[in-house]
Amino acid sequence: MPDCAHGLGIMTDNTPRGDHTFREGDTALLIDRRGRQYLIHLEEGNRFESHIGNLDVGALIGQPEGTWLVTASGHRYIAFKPTLADLTLRMPRIATVMYPKDLGTLLVYADVFPGARVLEAGSGSGATTMTLLRAVGESGQVFSYDLRQDMLDQARENVEMMSPEHSNLCLKQGDVYEGFPEDNLDRIVLDLPEPWHVVPHAAEKLVPGGIFFSFLPTVPQVQELTYALRAQGSFHLIETMEVIMRPWNVSGRSVRPSHRMVGHTGFINTARKCSPRPEVDGEAEAGSNRER
């Protein structure tokens, strides 16, 4: 068990990876003829009701992914195990979650690797938590903080939809603006309104070369964080970006951009922990002039 005082420990998942058969207790994704998608829980005798007909979803147990179900009125559904992106967009949530496009960028630009020790705040509804857990693997550790117990409870429920148990997750109620006991952290991942309050703690708790990641919705927040990272003196390679995603429709000879796109959701900010930068005569004054 992890050292998780006042936290929520979750034990290891024994379900074999790569199992493509539905089991009782699984979450399934039902898709109708118009592409509408529904998350359902598989139990014997459980029924799914909709305007195009009812289904005995328990019939999926023991069947492979990609199985078709037909309602009494002749409408078809196809069933798959949900991907991480499916869960992120359709799971129950209290707060807004990071979109899959931003979560994918998080994994690459924060370079979250198997075995990493990662601190996350806030937990929210658990989308980022699930993404980090998958990336760090069984040998890694995720410490996830939130101020609100209801957020932690929702995050735990959603994590368990992806995988019922994890020994490497520690959910903790607390304010990371005031600090945290975890050290030797490889990554710090923040989805908080004022992440600049965490910068001094990150400078102390990250390993050399460790990555500070923050997701922010507005330009003034990005500016405040960037100034704080620069003023701390222990961070370099400070970068900001946003990710825009435009789907395309391909139907017969009609190939065109979708009428809907996922535009601005937030800014991704990264920085790397370094030793204090040595000053060279005249450099501080020149830098100050450039800032003006």
- What value does the CA radius of gyration of the chain take, rounded to a whole number of Å? 22
Q: What is the pLDDT of residue 71?
A: 87
pTM of the predicted protein model: 0.84
Q: What is the pLDDT of residue 49?
A: 84
Q: What is the pLDDT of residue 95?
A: 79
Determine the Cα–Cα distance for residues 200 and 187; give it in Å rounded to an integer. Answer: 14
- pLDDT by residue for the chain (292 residues), tens only, comes to 344 644 443 333 334 456 899 999 899 999 998 889 999 999 998 888 887 778 888 899 999 999 999 988 889 999 999 999 999 888 988 878 899 999 999 999 999 999 999 999 999 999 999 999 999 999 999 999 999 999 999 999 999 988 777 789 999 999 999 999 999 999 999 999 999 999 999 999 999 999 999 999 999 999 999 999 999 999 999 999 999 999 999 988 899 998 888 889 999 999 999 998 887 766 555 455 555 4
Burial class (CB within 10 angstroms; exposed 0-12, middle 13-18, buried 19+) of 128: buried
Q: What is the pLDDT of residue 177?
A: 98
Domains along the chain with CATH numbers:
27-80 (3.10.330.20), 86-291 (3.40.50.150)
Q: What is the pLDDT of residue 14?
A: 39
Indicate the DSSP class of residue 19: -
**Phi and psi dihedrals of 201, rounded to 5?**
-70, -40
Determine the Cα–Cα distance for residues 20 and 96; give it in Å rounded to an integer. Answer: 30
Q: What is the pLDDT of residue 11?
A: 32
